[in-house]
Amino acid sequence: MQEDIQKHIARVVEELFGQQVDVVLEIPEEKFGDYSTNVALRLAKPLDKNPREIAEGLVEKLDHEAIAEMTIAGPGFINIRLTDTSLKEAISLKPCKHTEKRVVIETNNPNPFKAMHIGHAYNAILADTIANIIEAGGAETFRVSYHGDVGAHVGKSMYSILSYIGGDIEKLHAIPKAERNNFMSRMYAEGAKAYKEDDAAREKINELAKQSFNPPEGIYRETYELCKAWSFEEIDQIVGRIGNQAIAENGRYLESQTDILGAKTVRENIGDVFVESQGAVVFPGEQYGSFDSAFISSAGNSLYGARDLGLMQLKQRDFHPDKSYIVTAEEQKAYFQGVIKAAELCLPDLGGVTENISTGTVKLTSGKMSSRDGDVIEIQWLFNQIADAIKTEESLATDEIVQAALRYEFLKVRSGSDVVFDINESVSIHGNSGIYLQYAHVRACSILRKSIQSRDVPLYPAEYTPSERTLARKLSHYSGVLDAAVASLQPHLICTYLYELCKEFNRFYEDNQVIGSEREVNRIELVRKYQAVLENGLTLLGIPAIEKM
């Protein structure tokens, strides 16, 4: 509807004034209409005319079946009011604009041999929701994951684990399943501490890290394979619990797979893209707004940058994407700026494909979390805290409700901004929370169940009452919100809209009888559309749209 009116205004502008313009329709306060455009003000300079005079000429010639009336405000703004029938038709569950692109996005990338912490969960939830939004926009979307199963962090964990078992693998088998994640977290923290403080330990850890690229037979390989399997079992379980869609079998990439290809690419471009420095191979990132970064160490081992080059090539080979998104913490922004530039210089065909979406930091009362030192807050702790807080609200702490609290608290903040996670706020049934939205959906479903459509209730004319029209108008904005979310990859736009919609519905429901009203059929139609929009928005956010609570 909106796009059709924009095209109509553009045609009239060209017919009257011989000017081609992109017409923008804004949403003004309701008292001014449903749409407003400043096209007359924009034409004033090229036409050398008074903008109000231009607006008057346009209003006289505009004739669109969806427009009920137009008024001119201020120096030349044109306010547009839609017919009630058109307003009803404008309520849609799909964005107006669609894309045919192929998109790859990493929707989780925690490393094995380390516990999954809150920062991992935030990145995974944001990436999964962005994937939902991209998919809603019409793109063929492929979810993948990437995990570091080799290198320094493996060496730190293996150092502690091998010390713990003392050559007896049965000590690992004796650890209860529920305690494995905490065990892995503790082992990594101890290894990271030893690496910092003990020269002999550092040398041993470096050797164990090197062995991870080709695990030797015996206790090392047994321990490595078992703990790696534990890690991925835990990752899959947690990723499912936070509400992310599962990764396809061909969508999980490991650093051990990208290592050889990445190192080969780097070595083939020494002199053109990379430089040798003290035995290492370095990308001069400072020249491109990043920082100088070693892609191959002085010992000849590939580093993160080289492996990321390999990953880019594997994703291109497997999915041929037009766009490939990587969602990571803000602290990695400069690193990826360098890696992406190196990829463009080495592999021109990949130019413009990979894009890094950086997130802010998750903060709790304990402050910033750190994964490098092992000082982390595990996601299981947050699950438990949310569940305990829900119980104090006299509700059942089901996985679906915990999921709503967790996801929404992360997603309601503009991505790139820091998230200060407030557990009490996340479980509030009266505030701006995922549980509040779930409850609103439950309430809408309850109203629909109570409606007795079989009895003889007259269907009144299509015209809305003022309060019905206000709710319908808000519902009609949904497709535009989706357009904005798809264009910006910002889930918080959907969160904000849904919260505002629920408040608008509450005002409507308090002032208007639905069940048993003379206008029950008309109003139930509005409730049904409200429920559908709410369900659609929650689903895009990865929040279960439950029907009973």
Residue 439: CATH number of its domain: 1.10.730.10
Q: How many domains does the chain have?
A: 3
Instruction: With beta carbons less than 8 A apart as the criterion, state whether 78 and 36 touch.
Output: yes
Check whether residue 78 and residue 113 sit in a common domain.
Answer: no
DSSP conformation letters of 185-204: HHHHHHHHHHHHH-HHHHHH
Contact 54, 75 (CB under 8 A): no
Q: Same structural domain for residues 424 and 313?
A: no
Total Cβ atoms within 10 A of residue 405: 27
Distance (Å) of CA 4 to CA 23, 24, 55, 96, 100: 11, 12, 19, 10, 21
Q: Are residues 418 and 478 in the same domain?
A: yes
Q: With respect to residue 396, please indicate whether it lies within any of the assigned structural domains.
A: no
Distances, alpha carbon 245 to alpha carbons 160, 240, 292, 324, 540, in Å: 33, 7, 37, 18, 11
Residues 149, 277, single domain; the answer is yes
pLDDT at 121: 93
Residues 262 and 342 in one domain: yes
Instruction: Among 30, 50, 82, give the residue marking a domain's end.
Output: 82
Q: Of 82, 114, 134, which marks where a domain is finished?
A: 82
Determine the pLDDT at residue 279: 93
116 shares a domain with 34? no
Domain extent, residue 507, equals: 408-540
The pLDDT of residue 248 is 85
CATH number for the domain spanning 69: value is 3.30.1360.70
Flag whether 391 is in a domain: no
Cβ 285 vs Cβ 337: under 8 Å = yes
Beta strand pairing call for 280-283 and 140-147: unpaired
Residue 383 lies in a domain: no
CATH number, position 180: 3.40.50.620
| Residue recorded with tokens 């080799």 | 150
User: Is there a domain that residue 352 lies in?
Assistant: yes
Q: Are residues 472 and 501 in the same domain?
A: yes
Has residue 369 been placed in a domain?
no
Scan for tokens 């209860």, then name that residue: 176
Same domain, 115 and 75: no
In the block, tokens 């936070």 appear at: 242
What is the β-pairing status of strands 102-108 and 275-277? unpaired
**Residues 498, 530: one domain?**
yes
Classify burial at 320, counting beta carbons within 10 Å of its beta carbon; exposed 0-12, middle 13-18, buried 19 or more.
exposed
In a domain, 331, yes or no: yes
In a domain, 238, yes or no: yes
**Does residue 395 sit within a domain?**
no
The pLDDT profile of the chain, 549 residues, written as one tens digit per residue, is 888 999 999 999 999 999 999 999 999 999 999 999 999 999 999 999 999 999 999 999 999 999 999 999 999 999 999 999 999 999 999 887 788 899 999 999 999 998 888 989 999 999 999 999 999 999 999 999 999 999 999 999 999 999 999 999 999 999 999 899 889 989 999 999 999 999 999 999 999 999 999 999 999 999 999 999 999 999 999 999 999 999 988 899 999 999 999 999 999 999 999 999 999 999 999 999 999 999 999 989 899 999 999 999 999 999 999 999 999 999 999 999 999 999 999 999 999 999 999 998 888 754 444 444 445 688 888 898 999 888 765 557 899 999 999 999 999 999 999 998 989 899 998 899 999 999 999 999 999 998 865 445 555 556 899 999 999 999 999 999 999 999 999 999 999 999 999 999 999 999 999 998 888 888 999 999 999 999 999 999 999 999 988
Q: In this structure, are 141 and 185 located in the same domain?
A: yes
* 116 & 237 share domain: yes
The answer to whether residues 423 and 475 belong to one domain is yes
And the tokens for 346? 């080495």
Quick one: residue 381, left, alpha or beta (phi over 0 = left, psi -120 to 50 = alpha)? alpha
Examine the fold and report which residue of 35, 53, 82 is the final residue of a domain before the chain moves on. 82
CB 182 within 8 A of CB 143: no
